[in-house]
Amino acid sequence: MRAESVDHGIAFSRPCFGEEEAGAAAEVVRSGWIVGGPRLAEFEERFADACAAPFAVGVSSWTTGAFLVLRAWGIGPGDEVIVPSLTFIATVNVICHVGARPVFAEVDPATYNIDPHDVERKITSRTRVLMPVDQLGLPCDIDAFGALAARHGLRVLDDAACAFASRDRGRPVGSLAEVTVFSLHARKVVTTGEGGMIVTKDAAFAERLRRLRHQGMSLSDYARHGKRPTVFESYPEVGYNYRITDLQAAIGLKQLDRLEPMLARRREIARRYTAALSNHPLFIPPYVPEGLEPNWQSYQIVLRDGGPIERNAVMDRLHDLHIPTRRGVMASHLEPPYQDVNAVLPQTETLAARTLQLPIHPGLTEVQLEYILSAFAGMA
C-alpha cells in the first residue's frame, strides 16, 4: 500500500524554544553582561549538577572544548588517539587540530558504539588518548574504556556531544569518565544554538580550562568587576577565544528547566517508532542494551539485509511524502582528509551505507507522528 503524500510541515529536528528562552535572552541584552557574566556561572553549576559531576566549563562548541582538553593534556604530533570512524567528523578533526593522529576502531553493529576489544587491539606505544563516542545519545561502555586506560596508562575523553541526560545504569553521562565533552548545537537535546560544555571531577583542571578558553587570563572580567583595591589579571599561558556568551547561558538555563518534558516526549516518539518498526520487513529499529537510557537525541534505523530497496531510495521515497530524514552516522575514514589512513572497517562502512535517521524532537505533533508511522506501514 502506498501512503498518500500530505505536507504536514514536518521538521527533521527543531529546537524546543518558547517565550521563556526569548525572555531570558532579552534580560541578558538589557543587563549589559553579554559575556562572562552571572548567567554563565549559573549555567555551568546547573549543568554540572545534572551530570552529577562537580565542575562544568562552558565553551563555544564541542569542538573547541575537546580541543582545549587535548591541548591541556599536551597531546600533539607523534601521539595517537583511538576513535571510531563511525562518528560525525568533528570527533576526528579535533585530533588533527592538535597535530595528533587518529587511529580508527570498529563499532558494535548493534549499538553503533565503539568496540573496546578492537580499541585494545589498536593500542600502540604512541597511543595517548581513547576517545569513545556515546553515539546518537546511547552511552558507550565507558567502564571498559576506563579499565583499558588504567591498564595502559592512557587518558579517556568521552565524546558525549549527543548524550546529555543519557544514563548508564542510573548514572548520568558526565559522571562516568575522566573528562566528558557535550555539544549544545541546535540539534542537541539541550541547545544554546552553538556551544559546548566540558565536565570534569578535577577542580584544578576546570580552572585551567576556564583560563584557556579566555586567552589564558588568570581572573575573569566578572571576578575583577567592582573590586577594590583594583585587581589585575595575568596571562600565564597561551590561550584561545573559545568563550560561550551569557546570552547562550541564559537560554541554556531555560532549556534545563524544561529538560524532563523534552526527554519524555522524545522517549514517547522513540517508543512509538520502535513499536511500529519492530517486525517491519525492511527496517530494524535501534537496540538499547539493558540498563542504558538514551536521551533519544536521534532515532536511527538500519535496512535489513537483502531487502529490495536501497537506503537512498528510502530517503527519496520519504522525501516525496514530505518526511525529512538524514543519512545515518557517517564513516569518517571514507572522507578525503582521512582516506589515506589504512583502515579496515567493514561494519562501519556497512552501517554508514544502510542507516537513516527519522524526525525526532519535542515539537513533533501527534498528527505528524501518526503520518510518519502510516508511511512506514505503507512500505511494509
Ligand X SMILES: Cc1ncc(COP(=O)(O)O)c(C=O)c1O
133 binds ligand X (CB under 6 A): yes
Nearer of residues 244 and 276 to ligand X, judged by Cβ = 244
Binding ligand X (rule: CB under 6 A), the pick from 13, 85, 91, 111 is: 91
177 binds ligand X (CB under 6 A): no
CA–CA separation, 223 vs 178, rounded Å?
A: 28
For residues 77 and 343, is the Cβ–Cβ distance under 8 A? no
Residue 63 lies near ligand X (rule: CB under 6 A):
yes
- Distance (Å, whole) CA 305 – CA 7: 31
Q: At what angle do helices 366-378 and 259-277 cross, to 10 degrees?
A: 20
* 22: helix, strand or coil: helix
The nearer residue to ligand X, 183 or 248, going by C-beta atoms, is: 183
- Does the footprint of ligand X cover residue 196 (CB under 6 A)? yes
Stretch that binds ligand X, among 37-45, 55-63, 262-270, 344-352 (CB under 6 A): 55-63
In whole angstroms, the minimum distance from the beta carbon of 87 to ligand X comes to 5
Return the exposure string of 258-291: e unless at least 16 CB atoms fall within 10 Å of the residue's CB, then b: bbeebbebbeebbeebeebbeeeeebbbbeeeee
Judged by beta carbon, residue 28 or residue 161, the one nearer ligand X is 161
**Residues 169, 326: Cα–Cα separation, whole Å:** 30
Minimum distance from CB of 191 to ligand X (Å)? 10
Residue 258 grid coordinates:
524544561
Q: Can residue 183 be called a binding residue for ligand X (CB under 6 A)?
A: yes
Is residue 215 left, alpha or beta, with left meaning phi > 0 and alpha meaning psi from -120 to 50?
Answer: left
Q: Which residues pair with 55 in a beta bridge?
A: 200
- Distance, in Å, from the CA atom of 63 to the CA atom of 92, rounded to the nearest integer, reads 10
Percent of the chain as helix, strand, coil, to the nearest 5 = 40, 15, 45
Q: Does 161 bind ligand X (CB under 6 A)?
A: yes
* Residue 333 touches ligand X, criterion: CB under 6 A: no
Closest approach, Cβ 196 to ligand X, in A, equals 5
Nearer Cβ to ligand X, position 21 or 159?
159
As measured in angstroms, the least distance from the Cβ of 62 to ligand X is 3
Mark residue 267 as left, alpha or beta (left: phi above 0; alpha: psi -120 to 50; beta: remaining): alpha
Residue of 188, 201, 227, 254 marked active site: 188
Residue number with CB closer to ligand X (62 or 283): 62
Judged by beta carbon, residue 91 or residue 368, the one nearer ligand X is 91
DSSP string, 221-287: HHHHTT-SS-------S---B---BHHHHHHHHHHHHTHHHHHHHHHHHHHHHHHHHTT-SSEEPPP
Question: Would you count residue 61 as binding ligand X (CB under 6 A)?
Answer: yes
Q: Is 185 in the site for ligand X (CB under 6 A)?
A: yes
Residue 227: active-site member: no
Distance CA 155, CA 313 (A): 42
Residues 6+ apart with CB under 8 A from 122: 82, 103, 104, 105
69-88 positions binding ligand X, by CB under 6 A: 87-88
Nearer to ligand X, 145 or 371 (CB): 145
Q: Which stretch binds ligand X (CB under 6 A): 154-162, 206-214, 263-271, 284-292?
A: 154-162
Q: Binding of ligand X at residue 112 (CB under 6 A)?
A: no
Binding range to ligand X, per CB under 6 A, among 59-67, 223-231, 336-344, 369-377: 59-67
| By CB under 6 A, residue 294 contacts ligand X | no
Among 90, 282, 288, 353, binds ligand X (CB under 6 A): 90
Contact status: 239 vs ligand X (CB under 6 A):
no
- C-alpha cell at position 369: 507522528
Please identify, using beta-carbon distances, which residue of 329 and 375 lies nearer to ligand X.
329
The CB-of-160 to ligand X minimum distance in angstroms stands at 8
Using the rule CB under 6 A, is 159 a contact of ligand X?
yes
* Of 327, 286, 317, 325, residue with least CA distance to 138: 286
Chain residues that interact with ligand X, rule: CB under 6 A: 61-63, 87-88, 90-91, 133, 159, 161-162, 183, 185, 196
Catalytic residues: 188
